[in-house]
Amino acid sequence: MFMLSLHTSEVMANIAGGFLFTAYACMRGEQSGNCSFGFEAPLSRDGRFKGEQMLHGMVFREKSPKNSSAVPRPFWMCVRGIRGDRRWFDRLLSTLGGMDGQRRVKCVYRDFDAPNNSHDPSKATKPLLCPLLGVKLLRGVQCMIKEACNFSLGEQLRITVHSSRHFMPYCCASSK
């Protein structure tokens, strides 16, 4: 897996992990810049612990046609993803921490510093303690996808900040 490779920088691992996170949580890219998550709970229909873990979190502003009616919305996500492995999630958490390992930002994608205000995360010199937003988020995700999946420029440019949000519904629809 790309984000677990020793050759993948912390910034690229954060963007790859953020993409998986927003896919599994069915979260919009814009919402990932202002969210909180904190506890994992056992997943069980019969009350027994089965070893699966669900993450509970909250986006602070749900999309709404009227800004005045936008409210917080909870989300849940299986931390083991579709492959049954939580290493991706642990790696993402490691990219969100500060020097002492404490999570300092209330976001999924973490901004980065790069020479000449570049939006290319492969040129990043260090991660910053603030959310990655807007055009820089879009370009960061596109660059990560290009590197991780060896996409052509045309394929890369079709990726949007909403692409990950649509991933799980597409998986469910295709399994019918």
The CB-based long-range contact list for 116-124 (8 Å cut-off, 24+ gap) reads 119/143, 121/9, 121/11, 121/12, 121/15, 122/9, 122/12, 122/147, 124/9, 124/11, 124/12
Rg of the chain over all Cα atoms, to the nearest angstrom? 16
Residue 99's pLDDT is 47
Residue 169's pLDDT is 66
Residue 43's pLDDT is 59
Cα dihedral value 3, 9, 15, 21, nearest 10: 40
The whole model's pTM is what? 0.84
Please tell me the distance from the alpha carbon of residue 62 to that of residue 57, in angstroms, as a whole number.
Answer: 13
Are 143 and 165 spatial neighbours (Cβ–Cβ below 8 Å)? no
Averaged in consecutive runs of 10 residues, what is the pLDDT profile of the chain (176 residues)?
Answer: 91 94 88 83 60 81 73 86 86 77 75 90 91 92 89 83 72 60
3-class secondary-structure state, position 161 = coil
Residue 103's pLDDT is 60
